Structure 1
C-alpha cells in the first residue's frame, strides 16, 4: 500500500489497542503503543530510500528483505527496544504485541497489491502479488480517515476500528470474487492464453489486463465485467544479436527484466548509436506504456547510457539518456 494508507492503518491499530486493559491503564504504555504502531506500520518501507541511489537498485530491492520473515520479527524488537530507552516503565509485552501486529499487517496487505512482496524470504524469493487491491485504494483510505475523524470527535476507537476492518475484509472478498470472474471471461476470450495478469486501478470498477499466448500479447481494460482488448502485439523472442547481447548486460535493463513478466522490445539504429527499448505491457495509460527500460549503445556496442522507470514523454526520456561529454 502507499505511505498514507500505511500511516492511517497504524493509527487504526493503535485505536484497537485501546480495547487492551493493560494498555489503557497506563498513559505511558498507551502513548507508546500509538507511536509504535504508526512507526511499525511504516518501517518495512524504509527501503524506499534506495530510490536515492537509482531506480534499478530500488526496483530490485523494494519490498524484498525489509518485508521478509526475519524482518517482520526484528522490526518490532527494534522499535520496542528504542521506546524502552526513553520510557523504561512501559509494558514491554503489550507494546511488542501491538507493534508486531502493525508490522505484520503492513507486509500482509502489500501481498494483495499487483507489486507484491518477497514475504517468504529467506525460504523463497518468489514474489507474492495477488493483484486484488491497488497500491492506493481510495475506499480503504477514506474509510480509515472517516473513522479517525470520528475518534477525534469522541467515538470509542476500539470497536469503531474493528467494525471498519470487518467492512474492509468484506471488500477484499468482493474484489477477489470479481477478479476470479474477470479471469474466467478473459480465458473464454483468449482460450490459448498461457499467462493472464489482471491488475487493479484506483477506480474500483476498472482493471488493467495483460495476456500472453505462444504468439501474441494482448493488452486490455475491464470495466465492471466488460473486457475490451485495446492492443495486440506479436510476441517476438529477443534474438541473440551483438547489440541486444550487449544491452542485456546493462544494470537498468537487468532490473527491469527481474521485475516485468510481460514486455515487448524494440531496437532502433541511428547514425551514431543504437537504442534498445523494453516496454512493460501491464501499465497502459491513455494509449501510452510508461514503464520502460532503455539502453543507448555506440556502434562498437559499448553502453553509452541507460534508464529504467516511469516515463510519460519522449522528451524527458531523451534528457535522461543524454550522454555527458568527457
Structure 2
C-alpha cells in the first residue's frame, strides 16, 4: 500500500496501544514504525532496476526481519523512555504489530511480498486491493486528522482510532467477497466461451474495488478481460488474446535480466517488439486504460533492448498515463453500464 495509508493506520494503532502513556507521540511512533519496511527503496540508488524489483518487498518485508527490527526498536525506545513509562514487553508487542501489519497489508495488492525471506523466496500476493485505494485509505486518514486535532485528555480519541481501523477492515472483507464474485463470473465466462486455461488471476483496477482485471493463462498466451462486481450473473465477459512470444526473449541482451523479470512476473508475462525495441510486459499490473481500450499496452512494460534504455520508473510510468475525464466516464460505464443497460431494456421487453 501507499505510505500515507501505512502512516495513518500506524498512527491509529499507536493511539490505541500507547497514547495513555506517550500522548500524541504514540501517533508519530506508529506512523514511522509502520513505514519502516519500505526502507528497501534506498536500494534503487545503486541496484539495476531488474534486481531492485525483487529487492523491494523482499527481506525487509519478511516476518524474520520484522522480529529483528522490533527488538532493535524496543531497545531504542526503552532507552529514550528510561522512566519506565512503557514496559519493554509493551514496546516490543507494539512494534511487532506495526511491522507485521505493514507486511500483511502489502500482500493485499499485486506486487508480491516476501514474508518468508530469507528462508523462502516465495512471494505472497492476494490481489484484493489496488496499491492506492481511496475508499480504504479515507477512514484511517480522517481518524488521523481528528487525533492530531483533539486534546489528549478526551476519551473520544479511542473511538476515532477505531473509526480509522474498523471500516478499513470491513472494506478489506468486502474486497474478499468481490474477488470471489469476480472469479466465479470470469470462470463461468471462460467456460461458456470454451477457453481452456492453466491458471487465472484477478486483480482490482486503479483506485477502486468494483472493476476488476482478469488474466487467464494458457501455454501460448493469455486471455485478458475486465468485469464489474455489478455485472449480472449471466453476463459473459469479453476477452482479448495476447500471445506470450517466448521466442522473442532469446534476442535479449542480458539473459540474467530476463530471468529476474520472469521471476518478478510470477508466470504472467509477454514479449513484443515496438519498432526496434524489445519489450517485456508483466501482466499482473493491468493494462493502461484497459477498460477503455481492450488492446491497450500493459501498465508494466520493461525495455530489454536496445541497451541503455531507461527503466527507472517502470512501476510508475503506465499507472496514470492518459487519464482524463473521458477515462473516468469509460470506467463508470464499465462498472455500472451492463446493469444500467439491462435495467433500461427490461420495460421494453415486457
What's the TM-score once normalised by structure 2's chain length?
A: 0.74
Do the aligned residues in 2 keep the contact of 1:263 with 1:280 (CA within 8 Å)? yes
- 1:210 pairs with 2:215: yes
Offset at residue 225 of structure 1 (A): 4.1
What's the TM-score once normalised by structure 1's chain length?
A: 0.79
CA distance in 1, matches of 2:214, 2:278: 25
Q: 1:110 aligns with which of 106, 112, 135?
A: 106
Q: 1:184: which partner in 2? A: 184
3-state SS of 1:41 partner: helix
Structure with greater strand share of residues: 1
CA distance in 2, matches of 1:104, 1:216: 36
CA distance in 2, matches of 1:245, 1:296: 9
Q: 2:288: which partner in 1? A: 285
- 1:232 pairs with 2:241: yes
Do the aligned residues in 2 keep the contact of 1:256 with 1:292 (CA within 8 Å)? no
After superposition, the CA RMSD in angstroms is 2.6
Number of aligned residue pairs: 292
TM alignment of 1:225-264, pairs within 5 A: 225-226=230-231, 228-229=237-238, 231-238=240-247, 244=250, 247-251=253-257, 253-260=258-265, 261-264=267-270
CA distance in 2, matches of 1:205, 1:269: 36
Segments of 5+ residues of structure 1 without an aligned counterpart are: 298-303, 314-326
Do the aligned residues in 2 keep the contact of 1:114 with 1:129 (CA within 8 Å)? yes
Do the aligned residues in 1 keep the contact of 2:12 with 2:165 (CA within 8 Å)? no
CA distance in 2, matches of 1:279, 1:215: 15
Change (3 A) 1:45 1:214: same
Offset at residue 205 of structure 1 (A): 1.2
Change (3 A) 1:32 1:78: farther
Q: 1:51 aligns with which of 29, 44, 47?
A: 44
Offset at residue 138 of structure 1 (A): 0.5
CA distance in 2, matches of 1:312, 1:113: 17
**1:266-295: CA deviations, max 9, x gaps?**
25786xxxx422222332012232312222
Q: 1:64: which partner in 2? A: 58
Q: 1:40 aligns with which of 30, 33, 38?
A: 33
3-state SS of 1:238 partner: helix
- 1:96 pairs with 2:72: no
Do the aligned residues in 2 keep the contact of 1:293 with 1:306 (CA within 8 Å)? no
Segments of 5+ residues of structure 2 without an aligned counterpart are: 290-295, 320-350
Q: 1:167: which partner in 2? A: 167
3-state SS of 2:308 partner: strand
TM alignment of 1:289-308, pairs within 5 A: 289-296=298-305, 304-308=307-311
